[in-house]
Amino acid sequence: MTSSETENGCAGGERGESDVIVQTCVLGGFSESVETRALISSLAEVHGDTVTTESATQRFLVIMNRYQEQPHLLDPHLEWLLNMILEFIRSETSPPSLVHLSFKFLYIICKVRGYKIFMQLFPHEVADVQPVLDLLSRQDPKDSETWETRYMLLLWLSMTCLIPFDLSRLDGHLESDAGKAREPTMDRILTIAKSYLVVSDSPRDAASVLVSKFMTRPDVKQKCLGDFLDWSLTTISQTNDQSMRDIMVLDGALQSLAKLFKHGKRDDLLQYAPTILKCLEQKHLSESSQAMLRKLGAKLIQRLGLTFLKPRLATWRYQRGSRSLAANLSMSQSTTAIAEMETQEQEEDYDIPEEVETVIEHLLVGLKDKETIVRWSAAKGIGRVTGRLPKELADEVVGSVLDCFSFQETDNAWHGGCLALAELGRRGLLLPSRLTDVVPLIIKSLTYEEKRGACSVGSNVRDAACYVCWSFARAYEPKELEPFVTQIANALLITAVFDRNVNCRRAASAAFQENVGRQGTFPHGIDILTAADYYAVGNLNNCYLNISVYIAKFPEYTKAMIDHLIAMKINHWDGVIRELATKALHNLTPQAPDYMATTVLPQLLPIAGGIDLHGRHGAILACAEITHALYKLGLQTNRTVVDIISSECVDALKNIHQKLQDRKQYRGFGGELMRLAMCGLIEKLSLSKMPFKNDPVITGWQWLIDDTIKTLHLFSSGAKDGIMIAVVSALSALCEEYYQAQPGQADSEMQTVLVSQYTEGLKSPQIPTRCGSALALGCLPRFMIHSKLKQILEGLQQMCIVSQKEGNFTEARRDAVRAIAQVCMKAGVCASGSTDSALCSENVAEVYGVLLNSMNDYTTDSRGDVGAWVRQAAMTSLMDVTMLVASSAPEILLPDLVKHMMCCLAQQAAEKIDRYRAHAGNIFLHLLHSTEPAVPHIPHREELLNIFPVETTTSLNWNAPSQAFQYITQLLGLPQYQYHTLLGLTVSVGGITESTVHFSSQSLFDYLKGIQDNSAALSQFGDTLLSIFRDNLRNERVSVPFLKMLNQMLANSCFEIFTTQENHQFCVDLLTLCKEIKKSKDISKLRACVAVFCGLIQFQGEVRKKVLSQLLMLLCHSFPVIRKTTASQMYEMLLTYDDIIDPEVLDDVMTLLSDTNWESDFATVRPHRNQLCDWLGVPRPQVVAKQNLAQVS
């Protein structure tokens, strides 16, 4: 049962999302007991049917799998679950299918709870031995459907083997009724165990459990143990790991031996241990290609090692005390002392067998295995064996483990070494005297990373190192770890905050928490834990930019964090980490400004000119960020950045560009990164007001910016956007700082050169260069635009108009539209000003003209509706410019411009793409409800405010079709918005997205239903509909959805008021326009047209005859598929409108339409068509001869 918070919702409503996740994962008990009981009771009914069986099994799996992480919650219920299922198994009337299904359910419970716990619940009376044995004997080991039965029976047999009677007593008279000798029970069990040890499925694992329980019985080990071990060794020596069959056999033999040596008595097994060890050595399992065999080899070898050594607790081990406080208090010191003395006396003069050295060698090799499961098994083995060794030998083992931490070793050895150290520490076998050797290695492991190609390895090493720190916190008294507290705390926090891998960050946070709680000596531990808990460190940006700053406030950690970023992160292989590291250095600068200025910057500058590409990139960005941070700090004390950093550093920063250019490092591989880094440096040094005005370096920087814009098309697509943003930011900062002759007045020469250069770039044949040039013009400061506004706007407008007509350079148009708004915002508004310096009454119409024209950009290419990028940018730009004009000079905002803008926004707010509809809708409402400034001349303002009350600005979700369309269709009732709103709705109602079509059409029909009795409103709507059709006859984007929408309207009798009049003008005009569509070669268009013709049949008068005539012509269309579609649609039409033709011929017409194969050739279908003409009283169409016959009428 889940906790009350998750059942009843969050109490108080303020619980964070992470808390909710925790609550839902933590269960309070087994809440499905009633359903489970019913499910098990139903097995007798469902077992025969595959579908019901599978359904019941799946449901039981779902229930049980919820308890995978908290299986102990099942414990109070296991007994009744087992008993209910065993009733079916023990019943003599149960068919085999029910028995197998019952065992399948038992296996599911066993899998969740674990076999060690679950098997103990099986009944193990003397009376159970024979039935289980008999049932197991009847099973087919090769039946893949019933393996769960065999698995559970073997576990059950394992429990029945524990009966405390000699098995020979169960045999009685060994003669059967037929006079043949029966096999003794002991032999039967042994035969079954051996047979299942060599199978290829899961019962093999259960068979190894059976062996461990069966072979350790006093009566069995006397008679069978030696023979069984011989059989096992023979099996091991005669197999190899090349064939799958042999691998399975080896697996079974090794598993059974490992479990046997775990559960058996040392005295019984010691005599066989040397032979088994020798066999394993000859087998060379550590060289096997199978990880599972290597793991079992490590497992068996450690068990052999434990057999060679007497079981004892090493008296020399370090004992901190029990983990439990209650146990500590209840245990008197005297008792402990006496026990230790006795143990010591027993262990004197104890010789260590030679084989132990071999065992330890094998386990040390296992620590370096390539698979984690092998390394983990070997680490546990090292811990167990070392615990039985004398102090001197144990110290040698520790020394050998420490050899894993060599930089000649692979990451696997480091990981294995960490696991082994954690095991040794946890068991008290790593004495405090060794901590001086161990802690430095663990500190190295916490930042271990080895580059492999384009990525790195070592996250598992760092994770294991966190486990070591966690285990040390529990193993040692605070006084033992006190000398190392600073090192460990720094290393753990660096990993918790700066590690790239989220698992490592969380592991380090958990280890730090354990140390704070257990040791109590970590500086500011509780405060840091609050900020860097398990959930907080989950977000990488949050770690680098926020948590790191909080931790660096504590002086114990500041320099260590900065040093780590410099040493390990600014040269990291992942670009994201490098950039985050530089931003983190910017944020950390206020914590140690002098250290940054005098130590860190001089360290970084040589790296910025070094040979390592990643190091260069990170160092240049880091220099930029630190310099800017120092400049900000200088502002507070009225010092310039030159006063804070040395003149050598200033010169070095200035010379970075020239060095890179001389070495040609802006070209080729890595050129992208260098340009990106240098643009960042230019921006930050400009913002820091470095004294480089009129210095040659400014010319070099400007060359780099211009060259990057010209060569943008040569860069990889993934890097282009990032480089463009960096270039634009750099140019803006550079102009602001170095191109002012006087405050607010541009250097006229540079102004002319740059504006001409970038307006010329708008004509480049390369899209990225056009984009870069447009954005460059948009980012120029106000003084650079002054007196050049006309030239800039003309260049941007011309590019938009020309490229839109040609349907290319879409991205450049998008950026130009953005740039127009940016330029206008910077130039400002002056009603009577000059067109060269501000937005005024003379140029405002041109600006709006380009932006409004861009709202109709529906360019498509292989990527889809790319024009939407331009439309989105145009909407945003219109809003920005409108708010600017309305606040400064509303009188130049002409009513026609505002009307056109609002209508275009209404159209976009009715269209089919959710994201752009939402963008348009939000801007529409923003302009409508804006009060400071208020936008003048909005048509139907009062009606709009009634439709969209002020609360809709926050409550209305435009992304959801179910909400948006019910509002937007209300605009159809406002004459000035009707055309554009209906045009937008057309593509939504006639679209293909089910939810959009459903909600848009529903809202449209609701509106039409409301005006059914208002003939004037309906006539106006009909005229608007015809206008849209007329204007978009040749526009595929609108015409096909329009026909689909029209078909839905006709089918829903939306124009019923027109059908009562003969030859209504709406129908006549509609028919005329549909005739134009009929000439198309587009199949989808023709199909939609056929459907509309069939809908038009409901209108009376001559129109009906004309519609029938058109349909009958389409029955002989040149496309067979259209002929077939027309016949099918006509058949449905006659079923719907059965009163439109003479009832006497109705049946004949229907029969002919349905029985004729309209996809046949013309000679076959034309007579049938002509027959229909005669029956319907329509003149037969005449064949018109054409040079290029497109359509036969």
Q: H helices within 1065-1142, ranges in order?
A: 1065-1078, 1083-1096, 1102-1114, 1120-1136
Query: How high is the pLDDT of residue 1178?
Result: 87
Question: Measured between alpha carbons, how far is 550 from 573 in angstroms, rounded to an integer?
Answer: 26
Is 317 a residue whose pLDDT tops 50?
Answer: yes
Question: Measured between alpha carbons, how far is 230 from 438 in angstroms, rounded to an integer?
Answer: 44
Least confident of 256-260, 331-335, 839-843, 957-961: 331-335
Using CB atoms within 10 Å of the CB of residue 8, give its burial: 0 to 12 exposed, 13 to 18 middle, 19+ buried.
exposed
Query: How high is the pLDDT of residue 313?
Result: 83
Which pair of tokens denotes residue 166? 């000699």
Question: Measured between alpha carbons, how far is 1108 from 588 in angstroms, rounded to an integer?
Answer: 81
Is 1138 a residue whose pLDDT tops 90?
Answer: no
Helix (H) or strand (E) holding 450: strand 450-452
Question: Measured between alpha carbons, how far is 216 from 209 in angstroms, rounded to an integer?
Answer: 11
Is 342 a residue whose pLDDT tops 80?
Answer: no
Question: Measured between alpha carbons, how far is 525 from 593 in angstroms, rounded to an integer?
Answer: 25
Measured CA to CA in angstroms, residue 514 lies from 467, 472, 529, 547, 1179 at distances of 10, 9, 10, 19, 95
Helices and strands (H and E) in the chain: how many:
65, 4
Residue pair 66/74 in contact by the 8 Å Cβ criterion: no
Query: How high is the pLDDT of residue 1191?
Result: 45
Query: How high is the pLDDT of residue 322?
Result: 56
Q: CB count, 10 Å around CB of 965?
A: 27
Least Cα distance to 796 among 721, 734, 874 occurs for 874
Length of the chain (residues): 1193
Question: Measured between alpha carbons, how far is 406 from 394 in angstroms, rounded to an integer?
Answer: 20
Which pair of tokens denotes residue 944? 């709009």
Question: Measured between alpha carbons, how far is 94 from 1076 in angstroms, rounded to an integer?
Answer: 76
Confidence of residue 983 (pLDDT cuts 50, 70, 90): very high
Query: Coil, helix or strand for 354?
Result: coil
**β-pair partners for 450:** 457
Residue pair 251/295 in contact by the 8 Å Cβ criterion: no
Q: What secondary structure letter does DSSP report for 1179?
A: P
Is 1034 a residue whose pLDDT tops 60?
Answer: yes
> pLDDT tens across 585-641, in order?
999 999 999 999 999 999 999 999 999 999 999 999 999 999 999 999 999 999 999
**How do strand 740-742 and strand 745-746 relate by DSSP bridges?**
antiparallel
Query: Across residues 151-157, what is the average pLDDT?
Result: 94
- Spell out the residues 6+ positions from residue 1133 whose beta carbon is closer than 8 angstroms to its own: 1094, 1097
Query: How high is the pLDDT of residue 323?
Result: 52
Residue pair 385/363 in contact by the 8 Å Cβ criterion: yes
**β-pair partners for 839:** 829
> pLDDT tens across 55-66, in order?
999 999 999 999
Question: Measured between alpha carbons, how far is 168 from 157 in angstroms, rounded to an integer?
Answer: 16
Least Cα distance to 420 among 436, 397, 437 occurs for 397
Q: What secondary structure letter does DSSP report for 167?
A: G
Q: CB count, 10 Å around CB of 601?
A: 24
Query: How high is the pLDDT of residue 477?
Result: 92
Question: Measured between alpha carbons, how far is 518 from 474 in angstroms, rounded to an integer?
Answer: 6
Output 894-899 pairs: Cβ under 8 A, ≥24 positions apart: 894/844, 894/845, 894/937, 895/936, 895/937, 897/844, 897/845, 897/848, 897/852, 898/935, 898/936, 898/937, 898/938, 898/939, 899/937, 899/939, 899/976
Please provide the distance, in angstroms rounded to a whole number, between the alpha carbons at the two ends of the chain.
Answer: 74
> pLDDT tens across 424-450, in order?
999 999 999 999 999 999 999 999 999
Is 418 a residue whose pLDDT tops 80?
Answer: yes
Is 238 a residue whose pLDDT tops 70?
Answer: yes
For 1141, list phi and psi in degrees, rounded to 5: -130, 170
Q: CB count, 10 Å around CB of 12?
A: 7
Question: Measured between alpha carbons, how far is 86 from 125 in angstroms, rounded to an integer?
Answer: 14
Q: Which percentage of the chain shows pLDDT scores above 70?
A: 94
Output 90-99 pairs: Cβ under 8 A, ≥24 positions apart: 90/131, 94/44, 95/47, 95/48, 97/47, 97/48, 97/53, 98/43, 98/44, 98/47, 99/149
Is 174 a residue whose pLDDT tops 60?
Answer: no
Least confident of 86-95, 172-181, 1078-1087: 172-181
Helix 185-197 with 126-137: angle, nearest 10 deg: 50
Confidence of residue 869 (pLDDT cuts 50, 70, 90): very high
Query: How high is the pLDDT of residue 326?
Result: 52
Residue pair 622/566 in contact by the 8 Å Cβ criterion: yes
Confidence of residue 514 (pLDDT cuts 50, 70, 90): very high
> pLDDT tens across 988-1032, in order?
999 999 999 999 999 999 999 999 988 899 999 999 999 999 999
Which pair of tokens denotes residue 906? 């209404």
- Spell out the residues 6+ positions from residue 880 whose beta carbon is closer than 8 angstroms to its own: 821, 824, 825
Residue pair 64/37 in contact by the 8 Å Cβ criterion: no
Which pair of tokens denotes residue 261? 């040596």
Least confident of 330-334, 490-494, 787-791, 836-840: 330-334
Confidence of residue 180 (pLDDT cuts 50, 70, 90): low
> pLDDT tens across 183-211, in order?
888 888 999 999 999 998 899 999 999 99
Question: Measured between alpha carbons, how far is 973 from 624 in angstroms, rounded to an integer?
Answer: 59
Least Cα distance to 861 among 801, 813, 915, 921 occurs for 813
Question: Measured between alpha carbons, how far is 324 from 987 in angstroms, rounded to an integer?
Answer: 71
